[in-house]
């Protein structure tokens, strides 16, 4: 993980806001944060530096801030100066703390950015850890289309020209949602959830052969787009291969691994006359049924087996 | 097989050059071509993918081809870059 302090300042999130403002030490704004844990520097301000990890973001709550004020009042600046001699990425104060002028000068001289936020310390720590977890999450990019169909996140893959975008367009027309066309950013979050995102630049744009680049949010409204979605299923589209056997029963699930996480995968052959969007809708509903505990293919098979065992007439 | 190409034209990889790359890459049906920039890898047959690279003048991109016509494909892409996609290196066509 490597995040510049600048990125922390620029970070916007509805779920986990940080609302940081720069107080001093602009010179160090390019400093890199390399570890995803934080430190409360109470002990260190007191002069105790055993097991101190300066690479961590230093979070000052009300307690640390009050101690800092006390030190400044007593003009006992040695400990503060010593603290700022370490290679600290940045210090963050909660509760909109007003940094004393002396400390501001020390941080300016050391080139260590001091930030401040109106949030409570607990919220700040929670949100910053969420942000670090997100940034440190393993990631990859996949060529495909990500859509949400009946609440199920589906990653459509397949060769270029097989009709992924056209298929997604039809699904959007039917009221389902687009996350991203062509380039899907995937992150494995700490709870083992695979999340699909659109790239910042191209999000909600699509390329349809013969029409060109279109903006889905503008054409169909914001109701049919989403920023991110968990990937529940992969649907791979491929041109119908005469020599290949496709799944007829659906008794066994096939999986594909993304970032080490197993995801159900269906292979759907494409052929003129086959209405792929409806097949995808059906597959998605079937997936929901399975997660609710009903496996249609297995139930059907159980019924047949029990009938045969009992020797009853099926017809 | 891999080659590294640098964007020379002033306006970078905007829509027009991107479409030329896609057109060229798509001629080689049996060859898989990826473009790698830093940590992101995208398919050279995807126009939105190429645009998402935000490649400006001076950006170097690694083209990686796998398949029957990999040499020809990379040569064709190299020509495209050498001719600055038909634009003058300093500015507009």
Summarised one tens digit per residue, pLDDT across range A280-299 is 999 999 999 999 998 889 89
A50 is catalytic: no
The mean pLDDT of chain B is: 87
Return the percent helix, strand and coil in chain A, to nearest 5: 35, 25, 40
**B21-53 pLDDT, tens digit each:** 999 999 998 899 999 988 788 999 989 989 988
- B18 belongs to a structural domain: yes
- B91 belongs to a structural domain: no
From the list A139, A182, A201, the residue facing B46 with the nearest CB is A182
Is a pLDDT exceeding 50 seen at residue B78?
Answer: yes
- B92 belongs to a structural domain: no
Please name the residues between 249 and 278 in chain A that touch chain B, using a CB distance below 8 Å.
none
Q: Identify the contact set of chain B against chain A, taking CB-CB distances under 8 A.
A: 15, 26, 39-43, 45-49, 51-52, 54
Pick the catalytic residue from B14, B32, B62, B87: B14
Cα separations (Å) of A142 from A234, A239, B54? Answer: 12, 20, 17
Q: Do A199 and B46 touch (CB under 8 A)?
A: no
**A20-78 pLDDT, tens digit each:** 999 999 999 999 999 988 999 999 998 999 999 999 999 999 999 999 999 999 998 99
Tokens standing for A195? 């999340």
Closest CA to A130 of A48, A14, A31: A14
A248 is catalytic: yes
Residue numbers in A near B46 (CB within 8 A): 143, 160, 182-183, 207
Is a pLDDT exceeding 60 seen at residue A121?
Answer: yes
- Around A157, how many Cα atoms within 13 Å sit in the side-chain half-sphere? 17
**Are residues B78 and B2 in contact, defined by beta-carbon separation less than 8 angstroms?**
no
Complex confidence, ipTM: 0.78
A207 touches chain B (CB under 8 A): yes
CA distance A161 to chain B (A): 9
**Are residues A287 and A233 in contact, defined by beta-carbon separation less than 8 angstroms?**
yes
Tally the domains of chain B: 1
Report the CATH number at residue B17: 3.30.1340.10
Q: What is the mean pLDDT of residues A108-128?
A: 94
Tokens standing for B24? 């060229």
Q: Do A202 and B54 touch (CB under 8 A)?
A: no
Q: Specify the pLDDT at position B10.
A: 85
For A214, nearest residue in chain B (alpha carbons): B48
Q: Do A143 and B49 touch (CB under 8 A)?
A: yes
Q: How confident is the model at residue B90 (pLDDT cuts 50, 70, 90)?
A: low
- B47 belongs to a structural domain: yes
**Are residues A7 and A88 in contact, defined by beta-carbon separation less than 8 angstroms?**
no
Top residue of A142, A158, A203, A207 to mutate, by most chain B CBs within 10 Å, is A207
> Which residues are paired to A4 by β-bridges?
A32
CA distance B29 to chain A (A): 9
- B80 belongs to a structural domain: yes
A37 touches chain B (CB under 8 A): no
Q: Which residues of chain A form beta strands (DSSP E)?
A: 3-4, 21-24, 32-33, 38-39, 57-60, 91-93, 114-116, 139-143, 145-149, 152-157, 177-180, 183-188, 194-198, 205-208, 212-215, 228-230, 233-239, 254-258, 261-270
Angle at A97 between CA A93 and CA A99, to 5 degrees: 90
Domain enclosing residue B61, as ranges: 2-86
Pairing assessment for the beta strands A233-239 and A152-157 based on DSSP bridges? parallel
Angle between helix A101-110 and helix A62-73 axes, rounded to 10 deg: 100
**Are residues A237 and A156 in contact, defined by beta-carbon separation less than 8 angstroms?**
yes
Q: Do B48 and A202 touch (CB under 8 A)?
A: yes
Q: Specify the pLDDT at position A180.
A: 94
For A185, nearest residue in chain B (alpha carbons): B40
The mean pLDDT of chain A is: 91
Is a pLDDT exceeding 80 seen at residue A313?
Answer: no
From the list B26, B41, B54, the residue facing A141 with the nearest CB is B41
What A260-267 contacts at long range (C-beta under 8 Å, 24+ apart), as own/partner pairs, is A260/A138, A260/A188, A261/A188, A261/A192, A261/A194, A263/A155, A263/A194, A263/A231, A263/A232, A263/A233, A263/A234, A264/A232, A264/A233, A264/A234, A265/A233, A265/A234, A265/A235, A265/A236, A266/A233, A266/A234, A266/A235, A266/A236, A267/A236, A267/A238
- B93 belongs to a structural domain: no
Tokens standing for A111? 């080139």
Greater confidence, A149 or B8? A149
DSSP-derived 3-state class of residue B51: helix
Is a pLDDT exceeding 60 seen at residue A314?
Answer: no
CATH numbers and ranges of domains, chain A: 3-136 (3.40.1390.20), 139-302 (3.40.50.300)
Q: What are phi and psi of A10, to 5 degrees?
A: -80, -5
Q: Specify the pLDDT at position A41.
A: 94
A298 is catalytic: no
- B8 belongs to a structural domain: yes
Closest CA to B24 of B60, B66, B76: B76
Give CA–CA dist A218/A231, Å, rounded. 25
Q: What is the mean pLDDT of residues B52-57?
A: 89
Q: Specify the pLDDT at position B93.
A: 46
CA distance B66 to chain A (A): 14
**Are residues B65 and B32 in contact, defined by beta-carbon separation less than 8 angstroms?**
yes
For B32, nearest residue in chain A (alpha carbons): A159
Top residue of A135, A137, A141, A164 to mutate, by most chain B CBs within 10 Å, is A141
Pairing assessment for the beta strands B60-67 and B2-6 based on DSSP bridges? antiparallel
- B28 belongs to a structural domain: yes
From the list B15, B49, B54, the residue facing A182 with the nearest CB is B49
Tokens standing for B58? 């001076």
């Amino acid at each position: 993980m490597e995040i510049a302090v600048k990125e922390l300042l620029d970070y916007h999130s509805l779920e986990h806001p940080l609302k940081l403002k720069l107080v001093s030490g602009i010179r160090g704004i390019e400093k890199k944060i390399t570890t995803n844990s934080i430190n409360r520097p109470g002990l260190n301000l007191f002069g105790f530096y055993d097991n101190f990890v300066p690479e961590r973001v230093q979070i000052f709550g009300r307690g640390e801030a009050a101690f800092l004020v006390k030190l400044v009042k007593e003009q006992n600046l040695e400990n503060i100066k010593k603290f700022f001699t370490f290679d600290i990425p940045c210090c963050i104060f909660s509760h909109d703390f007003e940094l004393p002028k002396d400390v501001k000068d020390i941080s300016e001289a050391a080139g260590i950015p001091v930030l401040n936020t109106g949030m409570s310390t607990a919220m700040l720590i929670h949100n910053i850890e969420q942000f670090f977890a997100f940034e440190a999450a393993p990631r990859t990019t996949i060529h495909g289309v990500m859509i949400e169909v009946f609440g199920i996140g589906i990653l459509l893959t397949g060769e270029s020209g097989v009709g992924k975008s056209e298929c997604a367009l039809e699904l959007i027309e039917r009221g389902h949602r687009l996350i991203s066309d062509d380039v899907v950013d995937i992150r494995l979050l700490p709870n083992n959830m695979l999340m699909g995102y659109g790239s910042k630049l191209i999000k909600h744009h699509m390329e349809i052969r013969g029409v060109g680049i279109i903006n889905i949010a503008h054409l169909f409204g914001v109701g049919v787009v989403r920023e991110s979605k968990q990937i529940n299923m992969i649907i791979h589209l491929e041109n119908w291969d005469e020599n290949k056997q496709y799944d007829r029963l659906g008794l066994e699930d096939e999986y594909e691994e993304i970032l080490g996480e197993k995801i159900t995968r269906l292979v759907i052959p494409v052929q003129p006359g086959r209405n792929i969007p409806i097949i995808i809708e059906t597959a998605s509903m079937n997936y929901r049924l399975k997660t609710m505990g009903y496996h249609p293919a297995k139930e059907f098979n159980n019924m047949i087996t029990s009938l045969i065992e009992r020797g009853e007439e099926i017809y | 097989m891999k080659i590294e190409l640098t964007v020379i034209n002033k306006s970078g990889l905007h829509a027009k050059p991107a479409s030329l790359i896609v057109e060229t890459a798509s001629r080689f049906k049996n060859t898989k071509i990826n473009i790698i920039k830093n940590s992101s890898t995208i398919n050279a047959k995807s126009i939105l993918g190429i645009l998402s690279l935000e490649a400006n003048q001076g950006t170097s991109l690694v083209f990686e081809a796998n398949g029957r016509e990999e040499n020809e494909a990379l040569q064709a892409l190299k020509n495209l870059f050498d001719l600055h996609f038909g634009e003058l290196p300093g500015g507009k066509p």
